[in-house]
A and B are shown apart, each in its own frame.
Chain A
Amino acid sequence: MGETKQAIGPSQRILGMYPAIDRSLMVDGQFIILQNGRCDGGLFIARDREAVLLSKPSWATGLPLGSYCCNLNGNPYVVAVWSDGTRSRVTVSPSQIDRWVEVTSSNAWTGTSGNNRLTSITNACQFAIVKTPRYLTSSGTFASRDALLIQNGTDYPRIYDPDTNDSAAVKNVTAVASNAGKFQLTIGAHNFSIGDHPYLSSLGGLSLSGPYEVTAVGATTITINQTFVAGYTSGGTVQDRADLLVHKPISIPASVGNSFGTVSQFWTVAGASGKTYASSAGPPKINQTDYKFSNSIAVPYGTGAAANSNSGILWNIGTSAAATDIAKVQFGASMTLGKQVAMLWEGASVSAMFAQAKVEFSADDVTYVTAYDPSAASQLNLGIQYITQDSTNNRVWVIFDTTAIAGNASLYLRFTRQGSAPTTAQAATCLWIGSPSGNLPGSTEWGFSYEDEYNKVESRFFVMNAGSDAITSLGGVAAVSKTGSTDTLAAPILPLVSTALLDFRFVVTNATGADPISGGLDGQPERINFYASLPDATGIPDGNFYFAFIATLYGAGYSGTTRQWTKTYATTTINVTLNNYAVSVINYNREAPSVFQLPIPIARACLYAHNRAFVGAVKDDNGQFGLGDIYYSWERNPFRWQQVQEDDLRGGYVQLGDEEVQVFLASASAQLGAGRVFCWSTKNLYSLGDSGPFATAGFSASDLSRPVVIGPHGTLSPLSVAQGYNALFWLDQDAQIMRLGPQGLDNICRQKVSNRTEMAVASRKAKFSGAFRKDRYYFAYTPGGESENNRVLVWNERMQAWESEDYETTNANFENLMIYSTSSSTMTTARLFCFDTAGTLYGYAENSTGTITVRFATRGYQMTDWSGWYVFECACYATNNTATTLSISRVSRKWGADEAWTTTLSISESGSDFTGYKETVEHTKVGADRGEEIDLEWYLDVSGTVAPGTTILRFEFDTQGGADSVYLRN
């Protein structure tokens, strides 16, 4: 008996490859192998080949320790970390993918002595994009940026922040020329040296953009490692940026700080001189007996030694005082009015005296501006407040709202009587007059943290001791007791009251490092951040501190071509004054750090998802490894971490026992779409969060502190983890490729391709790599007996089957699979990149030229009875006849080894639309083991070289039964 079998064609679509089961148990459409094909359309289509994109840097040794494709602030990058044999260097390839640029350096703004290269030359690196916090300062709004976190488990984290705000002066390009075939840019005197990587932008007529390596320098020129092309017109800039950061804990100087309420403007009230009391008999009467200002010469402010140094301004109102009488004083220096003017008065009837006094200021004694006018209805009970300073001594603060007249520089103070004379004489002494330039409440509480903003590291938070300046240091009198002429009380301090506006100054400890520091700050704080807690309705600060301003401790600069940091303050204790500060500038989206604040822990694994960063397998400050430790950052601030959880928006920490964290990934985990952060350890797969229904799960710190085991399927191949649509893929610790989808965990490997994975080279587990692109999960592995990832198993989600084993015989192997997103100008933006072990970067299946080796082997066919049979005639129809050769092995199953007949098809029909191959000759079964031509089982193994894109339209064969010699296709 005999029949025609169609293995590929209209009546038999390809279902996938199942090499892990016996070929005799396969069904039609299942194949022993499908090599370099794409089969989800039902037919076999030869895939495109790898395209060489970029050779490794000259100094690099082989395969990168880690690589990552990312998009930073709209600009795509390929990032790779390479060993040079001594240190590991970080390189980036910007959007053109035409160069590697090293962004680490031995002469940088960061790192010990300016060397920010990694010390480990063996540890694998993991990467995560983090968002820098958005915040507002008096110098502008700083938008949130993408920055790349790089972790290798032993070095302090590196952060690549190409669009950092921290950059040295911009150099303008004035000319472009060729220097030995490379671009030479004329930029004037500069500090660049060979190996630097300045950022270029806006060079007219050229496409130069992003970082470039400097290969030669002149006094006013730099040459970059880029082939020269003409076309420059004009313009362009060159910028040196502190873009590669070493996120190292900073040394915290003495943590005590003091804040002092003060004012920036004041008149000198104390002293016998400097005040002029012009008088006139009037009208109006000025400084006459019944309404006048004069130096205090009586007890307690003007007698004895105090007569010259401690004289206040005496304000007398007699029983004959009349409306329009004036008391006036001219000071020796002008005072610019702020939003308030405060005075400290002493007297039993101060408020009664002011109740009928119009208060005015003037620069020239001609034009006066009014601070308070009790006769004006709009001013009644407005614009003045009294705060008792000392009821024993009848001292009271009198504060005027001068918002409407702020900015006036005044020399004169004038009071004008508004009512009739008092029944008894009144007197009061002015001890002090001043005005703040800002509008911060006096009871504002302050705290601070140290920060190396260049490296995104901030210290824990310190609350400052509150205080205020004594009036004697601000032109006021010294305080004396009413009972004597000697000082028995400390001078009054400015009122720390919410209704009194003040300026502030701060006394804090400077950084303890050298001056200057060559290279990076290496742990010294570059600045102090001051945080303010404003009073609430009770007038007392609520203890919630928000960012207000900074004091710079170190400034970046050059010493020749050496980058260095110079101290802003020479003293060990610095005095920072905060004048003209508006409450509106306080940045409420940047609260103070916690007292438990930690920098990003050193870790092997990292991820940024759901507004938080995650790290796992941690090395602490003592160099001890917590390989089961997981930390997660504050929400919306990936630079703030803590071990002690304070609330659900801040960070936290959790430990896994007896296992090591390998990798994180975030994904939707159910049809409901709730997001999860998944964590693979060496033993288990965890979901960080509650074990409850996905729909109600959140990402509070409390949820994240509860890792829930999904299954005992961790991984020893962290690079194999990939995210598809609604599913995750990875190789577990038992060499099974797992899929986590809405239906739960599924082993997509067993009895399909598990023979491949189980026989892979164990020593290369950590190098097995996976990626998901266009419905396919690609799993690159090292086959048994080989030493590189020479093969890639391709799982097709639409087929729910293994569609191909990709195998490039001519050049590439497949290390570090990664997805690269190109610009939005292309319809298909996702590209699949990989390296070979020599360090060359490839585009996976991006080259449609030349030929590629293909192979497919059918299931094993057996006759339905015990009759022997054999394959007689084979036919294959394919597109693209260029350079196509195909061989067919008709393989019979016999005891012992399989017995192959191999025949090369010759083209029997060729047209513009397709090519037909048909083998019509008798088989040539040869060999010592050759037995009967007729056997129980046969399969067909087809291999050859075809052009990429060649489609096998139809493959079929005839069988010939021994007893029924019939040509079925005739």
Chain B
Amino acid sequence: MAIYASDILNPSKEQRNKSLYGDYGYDPNGNNENGAILRRLSQGAGWQAAQGIGFQNQLEPNRQGAITGLVNASNPSNMIAQAQGAGQGAMSQGMQAGQGAANQLAQQGFGAGAQGGAIQGGANAGTHAANALLFQANSPQAQMQALQQMLGAISQAPGSGLEQLLQMFQPIETRQQANYAQHQQGGLSGLAGLLGQGLGAWATGGLSDGAQFAGGNPNLQWLNGVRM
């Protein structure tokens, strides 16, 4: 069943998508006014942004590590060194992403602690990604089945939240942006920018582009060509 953000806005308790409500912490039987929803969204926006970026930071290197494992399971030479190199890239990307999230949080009015947390969150995600690559490289005998399961899980990434996120925010923005902007300049537009950062990275490559890891280094070609 398709899920639309308009479900969230549906005042009818009978017609709304109760599952989606539950996913996002709403009481499906409650009287969820738009105002409350917007508060909820602006409240959660920082998290959504940080989570979106962290999501990619954490997921993509794992995914690449899994693909790498598949490709290189029979030839683990230099895997560790390559993983370490790729890990550095992941860490760098994670830190950049964290900084971006922090900037967006600042624009949303979150405090210094939240911004520092976003930066650290990016760094942690990058480190975790690098570690995952290293563990993967250390384990050339990791079972194919496990790797394929991993890939399978990651290939279902749209079901892990981003799709719902997109569907939630876009219609809400369309419907509410005018009124909201009258009251709080930069409110939802900031939200959109924030989403753009998280989701744009997803759509345009970001960490999903293995070439960012490998670059022109021929020793890291096992990372190249890995795409979503």
Chain A contacts to B: CB under 8 angstroms: 255, 386-388, 390-392, 442-443, 445, 447, 460-467, 493, 495-498, 535, 537-541, 543, 594-598, 620-622, 642-646, 648, 652-654, 690-693, 696-698, 700-703, 705-706, 708
Q: Report the interface size for chain B: residues with CB under 8 A from the other chain.
A: 56
CA distance A643 to B142 in the complex (A): 40
Interface presence of B150 (CB below 8 A): yes
Whether the pair A540, B62 counts as a contact (CB closer than 8 A) is yes
Interface presence of B19 (CB below 8 A): no
Question: Given A621-B112, A654-B39, A644–B29 Cβ distance below 8 Å?
Answer: no
CA distance A702 to B47 in the complex (A): 12
Binds A, one of B126-134, B174-182, B191-199, B205-213: B126-134
Contact residue among B25, B62, B110 (Cβ-Cβ distance under 8 Å from A643): B110
Whether the pair A465, B135 counts as a contact (CB closer than 8 A) is no
Residues of A contacting B74 with CB < 8 Å?
A: 391
Contact residue among A390, A535, A538, A596 (Cβ-Cβ distance under 8 Å from B147): A538
Residues of B contacting A496 with CB < 8 Å?
A: 134-135, 138-139
CA distance A652 to B44 in the complex (A): 9
Which residues of chain B from 67 to 95 have any CB-CB distance to chain A below 8 Å in the complex? 74-77, 80
Whether the pair A703, B25 counts as a contact (CB closer than 8 A) is yes
Q: Which residue of B lies closest to A599 (CB)?
A: B113
Interface presence of B17 (CB below 8 A): no
Hey, what's the 0/1 contact readout for B91-129 against A, CB within 8 Å counting as 1? 000000000000001000011111011101101100110
Which residues of chain B from 126 to 177 have any CB-CB distance to chain A below 8 Å in the complex? 127-128, 130-132, 134-136, 138-142, 146-147, 149-150
Whether the pair B142, A697 counts as a contact (CB closer than 8 A) is no
Q: Which residue of B lies closest to A650 (CB)?
A: B47
Q: Which residue of B lies closest to A498 (CB)?
A: B139
Residues of A contacting B222 with CB < 8 Å?
A: none
CA distance A643 to B50 in the complex (A): 13
Chain B: minimal CB distance from A183 (Å)? 48
Whether the pair A693, B29 counts as a contact (CB closer than 8 A) is yes
Contact residue among B58, B105, B121, B149 (Cβ-Cβ distance under 8 Å from A538): B149
Interface presence of B31 (CB below 8 A): yes
Whether the pair B43, A653 counts as a contact (CB closer than 8 A) is yes
Q: Which residue of B lies closest to A492 (CB)?
A: B80
Other CB < 8 Å A-B pairs besides A498-B139, A538-B147, A690-B32, 15 of them?
A: A255-B123, A447-B124, A460-B120, A463-B128, A496-B139, A497-B138, A537-B146, A540-B62, A541-B131, A621-B113, A622-B112, A644-B110, A648-B25, A696-B29, A702-B44
A sample of 5 cross-chain residue pairs with beta-carbon separation below 8 angstroms, ordered by A number, consists of A465-B127, A539-B139, A642-B113, A645-B44, A653-B43
Whether the pair B36, A495 counts as a contact (CB closer than 8 A) is no
Whether the pair A539, B117 counts as a contact (CB closer than 8 A) is no
Interface centre among A622, A645, A653 (most CB of B within 10 A): A645
CA distance A447 to B138 in the complex (A): 20
Residues of A contacting B136 with CB < 8 Å?
A: 540
Contact residue among B33, B46, B58 (Cβ-Cβ distance under 8 Å from A691): B33
Contact residue among A539, A645, A703 (Cβ-Cβ distance under 8 Å from B135): A539
Interface pairs A-B: 10 shortest CB-CB: A692-B30, A702-B25, A596-B117, A690-B30, A595-B121, A690-B27, A466-B131, A463-B124, A463-B127, A496-B138
Interface centre among B24, B46, B58, B131 (most CB of A within 10 A): B131
Contact residue among B25, B80, B124 (Cβ-Cβ distance under 8 Å from A595): B124
Interface presence of B227 (CB below 8 A): no
Hey, what's the 0/1 contact readout for B23-58 against A, CB within 8 Å counting as 1? 011110111110010011001101100110000001
Residues of B contacting A691 with CB < 8 Å?
A: 30-33, 36
Q: Which residue of B lies closest to A387 (CB)?
A: B141
Whether the pair B135, A540 counts as a contact (CB closer than 8 A) is yes
Question: Given A443-B139, A692-B31, A705-B39, A466–B111 Cβ distance below 8 Å?
Answer: no
Residues of A contacting B127 with CB < 8 Å?
A: 463-465
Residues of A contacting B111 with CB < 8 Å?
A: 620-621, 643
Whether the pair B135, A643 counts as a contact (CB closer than 8 A) is no
Whether the pair B47, A646 counts as a contact (CB closer than 8 A) is yes
CA distance A391 to B74 in the complex (A): 8
CA distance A29 to B100 in the complex (A): 72
CA distance A537 to B149 in the complex (A): 10
CA distance A91 to B33 in the complex (A): 47
Whether the pair B77, A391 counts as a contact (CB closer than 8 A) is yes
Residues of A contacting B77 with CB < 8 Å?
A: 390-392
Residues of A contacting B44 with CB < 8 Å?
A: 645, 702, 705
Residues of B contacting A701 with CB < 8 Å?
A: 25
Residues of B contacting A702 with CB < 8 Å?
A: 24-26, 40, 44
Question: Given A443-B135, A497-B139, A598–B113 Cβ distance below 8 Å?
Answer: yes
Residues of B contacting A255 with CB < 8 Å?
A: 120, 123
Residues of A contacting B36 with CB < 8 Å?
A: 691, 706, 708
CA distance A528 to B77 in the complex (A): 37
CA distance A696 to B112 in the complex (A): 36
Question: Given A392-B77, A644-B110, A696-B29, A443–B138 Cβ distance below 8 Å?
Answer: yes
Q: Which residue of A lies closest to B46 (CB)?
A: A644
CA distance A645 to B41 in the complex (A): 11
Chain A: minimal CB distance from B195 (Å)? 15
Chain B: minimal CB distance from A750 (Å)? 29
Chain A: minimal CB distance from B146 (Å)? 4
Residues of A contacting B29 with CB < 8 Å?
A: 692-693, 696
Residues of A contacting B80 with CB < 8 Å?
A: 493
Chain B: minimal CB distance from A156 (Å)? 15
Whether the pair A706, B141 counts as a contact (CB closer than 8 A) is no
Q: Which residue of B lies closest to A490 (CB)?
A: B81
Whether the pair A705, B135 counts as a contact (CB closer than 8 A) is no
Whether the pair B113, A596 counts as a contact (CB closer than 8 A) is yes
Residues of B contacting A540 with CB < 8 Å?
A: 62, 65, 132, 135-136, 150
Q: Which residue of B lies closest to A535 (CB)?
A: B135
Contact residue among B50, B131, B142, B149 (Cβ-Cβ distance under 8 Å from A644): B50
CA distance A622 to B115 in the complex (A): 14
Interface centre among B51, B76, B130 (most CB of A within 10 A): B76
CA distance A595 to B110 in the complex (A): 14
Residues of B contacting A464 with CB < 8 Å?
A: 127
Residues of A contacting B114 with CB < 8 Å?
A: 596, 642-644
Question: Given A692-B30, A705-B39, A539–B142 Cβ distance below 8 Å?
Answer: yes
Residues of A contacting B33 with CB < 8 Å?
A: 691
Whether the pair A645, B43 counts as a contact (CB closer than 8 A) is yes
Interface centre among B26, B27, B58 (most CB of A within 10 A): B27
Whether the pair A391, B39 counts as a contact (CB closer than 8 A) is no
CA distance A202 to B135 in the complex (A): 55
CA distance A21 to B155 in the complex (A): 74
CA distance A701 to B47 in the complex (A): 12
Residues of B contacting A648 with CB < 8 Å?
A: 25
Q: Which residue of A lies closest to B132 (CB)?
A: A540
Whether the pair B25, A700 counts as a contact (CB closer than 8 A) is yes
